Structure 1
Amino acid sequence: MERLDDEAQRSLTRRCPPIRGREGLAYALDGREVVSYCSNDYLGLSQMPIEAADATGSGASRLVCGDLEVHRRVEARFAEWLGHEDAVLFPSGFQANASVLPCLLSKDDRVHSDRLNHASLIDGMRLSAAPRSLLEHLQPPKLGSREAAPRDWWVCESVFSMDGDGPSLGDLEGHLAGGGCLYLDEAHGLGLFAGGRGRGALLRARPTITVAPLGKAFGCAGAFVAGSKVACAWIRSHARGFVFSTGVSPMLAAAIEVQLERVRGPEGEALRGQLWRKVDRFRTRLGASHGQAFPALRSPIHPIVVGSNARALAISARLLDAGWHVQAIRPPTVPEGSARLRVTICAGHSLEQVDAFADDLLRCLEDA
């Protein structure tokens, strides 16, 4: 209880606000009608209707009860789409990272981690036996001699969830070309770049491991871990989050299969076009017109860093009064002193909503 009181004094109390009557990006929040600018549903696929599957559960771990046809089929289709030999389906991106990294990394490896990596990546590396070095944000690792360590792993996100930036393609390619291994989390790149395949698909060589969480642009849940047949066979036998977890529901696996066809097809291409038009409109409104700086990487994530926790909460509250839902992001999600509004633009926003929100955001920033 004392720790909760301490967090309250530092403006760090969190809650899950109840929402009602969701239609697209609009819903009722604490009795107010609002439009969301904090969702990761970038393409608006999370509310697309899907015919229900004929089963809801897998019964046990897939190593105990076996694979259902839909498990094998969707893993094969996803691997082929990403250009990998094989893929393994997990219940969530967090479970995938926390399970696969300790499974793949040994004490003889070296692992280089971006300082701003997601908590699931950090936890996975901590659970591994590999020595870990922290990299300054977006800094590529320096490869050591093959005699000192057989494998140098660079673990990073293709698009960073709280900053909307990402490593340069040149740095990623240079690491692979130099003999390094790349573990690339595509949580916020999948569905958006390279026909939906993520930023890793823009590289001349595939990442060693691609993690593809499905709760953002895919509008679903679960995550694929894609790589070589040997790597995926090892993961199926040794990743504790796969071995000791009930297999992904066939209902979810079937939904993922439908979303894959949407994302990779004409519907996905049209939605990406809509998304980038809204992103460009927002950036122009705040950047070119009012000097707000954004990451060089064009992504739907726009961090408005305000510094103090109290100021971030105050701006979030004022935006809520104006009909916009934008959460204040505070430590430990972001470093101390970098509390922010994390604004996400989605295909489902209208251009009029983008303009009105941008104007209200600027007013709230000036007033707070």
Structure 2
Amino acid sequence: MRKSAWQWMHTELESLKERAQFRYLVDSEPQGQGWLLRDGRRMLNLASNDYLGLQQRSGIADAWMGAAASRLIVGNNPVYRRFEEEFARFKGTESCLLFSSGYMANVGVIPSLMGRHDVVFSDRLNHASIVDGIVLSRAEHVRYRHRDLDHLETLLRKADTGSKKLIVTDSVFSMDGSIAPLRELVELKDRYGAMLMVDEAHSGGLYGEQGQGLVHELGLTERVEIQMGTFSKAYGGYGAYIAGDEVLKQYLVNKARSFIYTTALPPAVIESVRLNWLQARKEEWRRKELSRKAVWFREALRQRGFDTGESESHIVPLLLGSNERTVRFSEKLQQAGIAAVAIRPPTVPEGTARIRFTLMATHRDEDLQWAVEQIDRAGRELA
């Protein structure tokens, strides 16, 4: 798909093979009593970290048996491979690689792709895990104003033409509910020879005809090099993924430290995620209901004079400004029976403290109406 763009990856992987340092995943399935089935052969397991043998107890523990090691040691249960193949087909990409969490994906992927002589361009409102991944990479960290394409282009134009360039953005911004201009970002990264990484944590399951994400809905799958997403939001589970070309997967297996040096997720977690994912795919009504309720809720607040910022999604911030007012507002809402957490710096920029509301497809209309009334009352009392 992007063979020339990934030539540096191919070169590095060939170098690893020549030095006998190339890592690859081999299916390993526990067989009990210290044995496992590895690559189709029954072997005595002398590589596990299950030191007390507690994973081999009978009963309910069997269903939640952990991997007991990194997937590159003896922890690569076939469950992972099957789900990765299935999910890659769903995303329309060549490959998929599972990570233990979205944070571990971002702090593993960015440093594996970018280094000291490279440049990462990041939206100022990107999630903290993206920021941490850039810091760990030691690449030059260039932040552009939120969704400001002119500013980003100016920065891209100034960048060293000899360095690798990566643009990273959330698709739906977690504290603002705003949506990244992905079509325009694709045009810019093509124009300036950059790669684009899109964090679909808050759009996966919600956009696209079956919830493939915003990249898919906009028809950009072939043009976005790296898609990251989580199973802990719309899918109601745990874990994360990177979707892209097969060479990207191989490269991450060999370079992403947060993948190489961590114990894999329990297979039961993957199976539960898969069931939720299959349900989400076929139940389109959930996406439609969430969209309808988010539009109504956001407009109801705006009509009452509240500032919901640039929200255009199921995440609706109530921008209040000062930390003190936000805390008091939060306390009033919680006294009224609404779980409303005060979001303050450093999670959000100074002077933009807020209450962050997130809608669910299963919220009842009458409950949302009641919530708006409580928010309105609290606002009047604190005016």
Counterpart for residue 244 of structure 1: 261
- Does 2:204 correspond to 1:190? yes
Is the 1:108–1:149 contact (alpha carbons within 8 Å) kept by the matching residues of 2?
A: no
Counterpart for residue 347 of structure 2: 333
Is the 2:316–2:358 contact (alpha carbons within 8 Å) kept by the matching residues of 1?
A: yes
* SS of match in other structure, 1:230: helix
Counterpart for residue 219 of structure 1: 236
Counterpart for residue 158 of structure 1: 171
How far is 1:286 from its partner? 1.8
Deviations 1:57-80 (A, max 9, x none): 012001000521110011111111
Distance in 1 between the 2:376 and 2:70 partners? 51
1:264/1:150 Cα in 2 relative to 1: closer, same or farther (>3 Å)?
farther
- Does 2:209 correspond to 1:209? no
Distance in 2 between the 1:105 and 1:147 partners? 14
Distance in 1 between the 2:228 and 2:91 partners? 11
* SS of match in other structure, 1:325: coil
Q: Which runs of 4+ in 1 moved over 3 A?
A: 51-55, 143-147, 203-206, 291-297
2:285 to 252, 266, 270: 270
**1:153 alignment partner AA:** L
Is the 1:105–1:128 contact (alpha carbons within 8 Å) kept by the matching residues of 2?
A: yes
How far is 1:296 from its partner? 5.2
How far is 1:233 from its partner? 0.6
Single out whichever of 113-122 and 52-61 deviates more from structure 2.
52-61
- The residue correspondences of 1:275-314 to structure 2 (distance < 5 A) are 275-287=290-302, 289-294=303-308, 298-314=312-328
Q: Percent of counterpart pairs with the same letter?
A: 37
Distance in 1 between the 2:310 and 2:337 partners? 29
* SS of match in other structure, 2:375: helix
Counterpart for residue 329 of structure 2: 315
1:353/1:52 Cα in 2 relative to 1: closer, same or farther (>3 Å)?
farther
* SS of match in other structure, 1:304: strand
How far is 1:261 from its partner? 0.8
Counterpart for residue 367 of structure 1: 381
Report which of the two structures shows the higher radius of gyration computed on alpha carbons: 2
Is the 1:101–1:124 contact (alpha carbons within 8 Å) kept by the matching residues of 2?
A: yes
Distance in 2 between the 1:256 and 1:342 partners? 26
How far is 1:229 from its partner? 0.8
Distance in 1 between the 2:231 and 2:62 partners? 18
Counterpart for residue 92 of structure 2: 83
* SS of match in other structure, 1:277: helix
* SS of match in other structure, 1:303: strand
1:88/1:191 Cα in 2 relative to 1: closer, same or farther (>3 Å)?
same
Distance in 2 between the 1:331 and 1:106 partners? 29
Is the 1:281–1:354 contact (alpha carbons within 8 Å) kept by the matching residues of 2?
A: no
Counterpart for residue 134 of structure 1: 143
Single out whichever of 173-182 and 58-67 deviates more from structure 2.
173-182
Counterpart for residue 42 of structure 1: none
**1:58 alignment partner AA:** A
How far is 1:107 from its partner? 3.1
Distance in 2 between the 1:93 and 1:206 partners? 22
**1:325 alignment partner AA:** A
How far is 1:231 from its partner? 1.1
Counterpart for residue 57 of structure 1: 66
1:52/1:166 Cα in 2 relative to 1: closer, same or farther (>3 Å)?
farther
Is the 1:87–1:232 contact (alpha carbons within 8 Å) kept by the matching residues of 2?
A: yes
- Does 2:187 correspond to 1:174? yes
Distance in 2 between the 1:246 and 1:305 partners? 40
Distance in 1 between the 2:229 and 2:126 partners? 15
Distance in 1 between the 2:291 and 2:187 partners? 28
1:366/1:149 Cα in 2 relative to 1: closer, same or farther (>3 Å)?
farther
Is the 2:179–2:313 contact (alpha carbons within 8 Å) kept by the matching residues of 1?
A: no
Deviations 1:183-241 (A, max 9, x none): 11111111111131111111433421111111111111100011111111111111111
Is the 2:119–2:159 contact (alpha carbons within 8 Å) kept by the matching residues of 1?
A: no
Normalised by the size of structure 1, how large is the TM-score? 0.81
Is the 1:176–1:207 contact (alpha carbons within 8 Å) kept by the matching residues of 2?
A: no
2:364 to 336, 340, 350: 350
Residue correspondences, number: 315
How far is 1:340 from its partner? 0.5
Distance in 1 between the 2:372 and 2:67 partners? 46
Distance in 2 between the 1:296 and 1:334 partners? 14
Is the 1:162–1:342 contact (alpha carbons within 8 Å) kept by the matching residues of 2?
A: yes
1:311/1:145 Cα in 2 relative to 1: closer, same or farther (>3 Å)?
closer
